């Protein structure tokens, strides 16, 4: 019996507001998971129920990207999608049974876990839409009309509606036309409804009829479409925790690319933890069927070498090239075929078209830039949609490497000359000594947050202002001393020990980073 209907899209486990449709009572079947069993066209599983537990049945429709593939490719994609569906439900501890027909999946699970299951299934890439289903036997058209009237009458009461009926399978074994079903069931539902609207109904009464059985569908829940995650191989994504790189990563996952994440740590443990939190959301909510790893590379020595040897206006371009080389080294270890970045043309000085061309020459791997043509507001809107916005909004920009007058049209010859004296072994060592986190199993609570913040300034503390000279001259904390950040990184070990120091900067990343180094 229909309990609730919702047209909302499920955006994550436990987030959807749809209730459920539940099967008629029938003998309970063993709880098994079967992702390989196939049934003839138009057939699906019968939900098992008992007095102790009711079972829900959901229909998953494939995206058009899958249905248009050649048969061998389609089989491979659907095998991958079936494994991803299994992983999505298993990760939430949901007992389930999955059955595949030629053009859809049927998934059965306990009704009390319906909301969580629907949320997870809607986030499996390759799923175009899903709907809860009731399955009933019929012997004549009157049976279908009677059952459909009982199921849909509450949903259409006081609303405009349309009946959508479809015959599936051996139509010769169905002694009536779809139009006849629509006309008869529509007439039965009309007395309690506001009226019929074939073009824009407030409620759709949808059903499919196979020989001897009929499926009655709840409201469609929109999936994300795309390709099953992992079917297009793997890549590494450079991430910083801001809005752009998580969205870029998600868009490539939607196209079937499994990802590892490379984080070149410029801002210390606090910055690393913030970025880990963002990518943990991507992993837990969207990475079903894969095991993404987060590679944290300490860039302290690399950036110090850069600042000492590279002309200031070229810092950003050279830094981005070093990050690409880092990603390339890790990609080789992980057998990844490409690098993903969150670059958008013209968004910052290093992302002018000329600079992007020079930066790209640092690696021979393909560089995928899925947000390259998006406006910032479009990227932020996408971040809200995938669940990373609020965490990304808290991640500060590491401004210590942003010069006041950066180069916007660097040439390859200029950058080759700037990089000539860099110590390349520092980058190789940083990669070899990186920290790797398995995002699907890693518990963020196991990481201790650095205790570097203070709510008050001790009387005898020395206050250091790490902002720009112009900002310091415009306003400063009383008796604060100016110390530009590059110089601070060189001299902090020479500061008087036994004294208390309070540091501040524009966003907290530079001061937090230096405080960590001083605490060591």
Say how many C-beta atoms besides its own lie within 10 A of residue 416's C-beta: 11
Topology of domain 234-446, CATH:
Rossmann fold (3.40.50)
Q: Which residue has the tokens 């009655």?
A: 216
Topology of domain 55-222, CATH:
VC0802-like (3.30.2130)
Query: Distance of CA 310 to CAs 303, 472, 491, Å?
Result: 10, 25, 19
By C-alpha distance, which of 494, 475, 220 is closest to 504?
A: 475
User: What pLDDT is attached to residue 457?
Assistant: 86
User: What pLDDT is attached to residue 18?
Assistant: 31
C-beta of residue 324 within 8 angstroms of C-beta of residue 431:
no
Buried b (16+ CB within 10 A) or exposed e, 466-486: bbbeeebeeeeeeebeebebe
Say how many C-beta atoms besides its own lie within 10 A of residue 113's C-beta: 19
Q: In angstroms, rounded to a whole number, what is the distance separating the alpha carbons of residues 53 and 369?
A: 48
Q: In angstroms, rounded to a whole number, what is the distance separating the alpha carbons of residues 520 and 512?
A: 13
User: What pLDDT is attached to residue 323?
Assistant: 98
The tokens of 427 are what?
Answer: 């980058």
Q: What is the pTM of this model?
A: 0.80
Query: Distance of CA 62 to CAs 90, 91, 106, 224, Å?
Result: 21, 22, 11, 10
Catalytic member of 231, 264, 399, 505: 505
User: What pLDDT is attached to residue 29?
Assistant: 31
264: annotated active-site residue: no
List pLDDT tens digits, range 463-474: 888 888 888 888
- Return the sign of the alpha-carbon dihedral for residues 414, 420, 426, 432: positive
Length, in residues, of the chain: 520
Q: In angstroms, rounded to a whole number, what is the distance separating the alpha carbons of residues 100 and 106?
A: 6
Q: In angstroms, rounded to a whole number, what is the distance separating the alpha carbons of residues 251 and 443?
A: 25
Alpha helix (H) residue ranges in 219-299: 244-254, 268-286
Domain segments of the chain: what residues?
A: 55-222, 234-446, 462-519
Query: Distance of CA 166 to CAs 68, 147, 206, Å?
Result: 21, 16, 8
Q: In angstroms, rounded to a whole number, what is the distance separating the alpha carbons of residues 395 and 383?
A: 13
> Cβ contacts of residue 197 below 8 Å, gap of 6+?
160, 161, 162
Say how many C-beta atoms besides its own lie within 10 A of residue 111's C-beta: 21
User: What pLDDT is attached to residue 13?
Assistant: 38
Extract the runs of DSSP E, i.e. beta strands, from 367-453: 367-368, 435-438
φ/ψ of 438, rounded to 5, equals: -85, 105
pLDDT tens over the chain, length 520 residues: 333 333 334 444 333 333 333 333 333 332 222 333 333 333 445 444 454 579 999 999 999 999 899 999 999 999 999 999 999 999 999 999 999 987 789 999 999 999 999 999 999 999 999 999 999 999 999 999 999 999 999 999 999 999 999 998 899 999 999 999 999 999 999 999 999 999 999 999 999 999 999 999 988 899 999 999 999 999 999 999 899 999 999 999 999 999 999 999 988 888 899 999 999 999 999 999 999 999 999 999 999 999 999 999 999 999 999 999 999 999 999 999 999 999 999 888 888 999 999 999 999 999 999 999 999 999 999 999 999 999 999 886 665 567 778 899 999 999 999 999 999 999 999 999 999 999 999 888 877 666 777 778 888 888 888 888 888 888 988 888 888 777 777 777 778 887 888 888 877 777 777 777 777 6
> Cβ contacts of residue 429 below 8 Å, gap of 6+?
301
Q: In angstroms, rounded to a whole number, what is the distance separating the alpha carbons of residues 266 and 274?
A: 12
User: What pLDDT is attached to residue 399?
Assistant: 59
List pLDDT tens digits, range 68-79: 999 999 999 999
């Amino acid at each position: 019996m229909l309990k609730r209907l919702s047209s909302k899209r499920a955006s994550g486990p436990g987030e959807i507001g749809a209730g459920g449709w539940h099967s008629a009572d029938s003998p309970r079947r063993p709880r098994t998971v079967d992702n390989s069993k196939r049934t003839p066209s138009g057939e699906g599983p019968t939900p098992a129920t008992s007095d102790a537990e009711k079972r829900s049945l959901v229909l998953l429709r494939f995206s058009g990207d899958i249905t248009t593939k050649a048969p061998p490719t389609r089989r491979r994609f659907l095998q991958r999608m079936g494994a991803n569906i299994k992983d999505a439900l298993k990760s939430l501890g949901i007992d389930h049974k999955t059955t595949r027909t030629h053009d859809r999946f049927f998934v059965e699970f306990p009704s009390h876990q319906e909301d969580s299951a629907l949320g997870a299934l809607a986030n499996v890439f390759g799923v175009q839409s899903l709907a809860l289903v009731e399955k009933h036997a019929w012997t004549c058209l009157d049976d279908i009309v009677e059952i459909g009237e009982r199921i849909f009458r509450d949903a259409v009461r006081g609303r405009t509606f349309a009946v959508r009926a479809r015959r599936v399978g051996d139509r010769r074994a169905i002694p009536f036309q779809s139009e006849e079903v629509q006309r008869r069931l529509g007439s039965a539902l009309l007395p309690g409804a506001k009226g019929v609207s074939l073009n824009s109904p407030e409620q759709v009464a949808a059903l499919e009829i196979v020989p001897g059985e009929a499926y009655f569908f709840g409201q469609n829940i929109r999936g994300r479409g795309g390709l099953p995650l992992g079917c297009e191989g793997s890549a590494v994504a450079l991430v910083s925790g801001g809005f752009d790189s998580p969205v870029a990563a998600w868009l490539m996952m939607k196209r079937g690319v499994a990802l590892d994440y490379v984080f070149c740590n410029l801002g210390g443990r606090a910055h690393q933890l913030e970025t880990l939190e963002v990518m943990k959301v991507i992993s837990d909510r969207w990475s079903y069927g894969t095991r993404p790893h987060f590679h944290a590379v300490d860039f302290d020595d690399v950036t110090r070498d850069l600042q000492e040897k590279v002309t200031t206006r070229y810092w950003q371009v050279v830094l981005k090239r070093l990050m690409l080389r880092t990603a390339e080294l890790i990609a080789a270890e992980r057998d990844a075929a490409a690098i993903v970045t969150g670059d958008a043309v013209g968004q910052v000085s290093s992302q002018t078209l000329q600079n992007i061309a020079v930066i790209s020459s640092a690696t021979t791997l393909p560089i995928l830039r899925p947000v390259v043509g998006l406006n910032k507001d479009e990227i932020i809107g996408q971040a809200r949609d995938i669940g990373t916005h609020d965490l990304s909004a808290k991640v500060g920009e590491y401004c210590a490497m942003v010069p006041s007058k950066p180069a916007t049209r660097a040439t390859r010859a200029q950058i080759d000359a700037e990089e000539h004296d860099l110590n390349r072994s520092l980058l190789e060592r940083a990669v070899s000594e990186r920290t790797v986190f398995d995002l699907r199993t890693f518990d963020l609570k196991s990481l201790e947050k650095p205790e570097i913040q203070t709510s008050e300034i001790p009387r005898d503390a020395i206050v250091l202002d790490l902002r720009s000279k112009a900002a310091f001259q415009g306003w400063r904390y009383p008796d604060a001393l100016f110390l530009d950040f590059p110089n601070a990184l060189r001299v902090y070990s020479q500061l008087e020990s036994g004294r208390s120091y309070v540091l501040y900067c524009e966003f907290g990343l530079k001061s937090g980073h230096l405080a960590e180094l001083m605490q060591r």
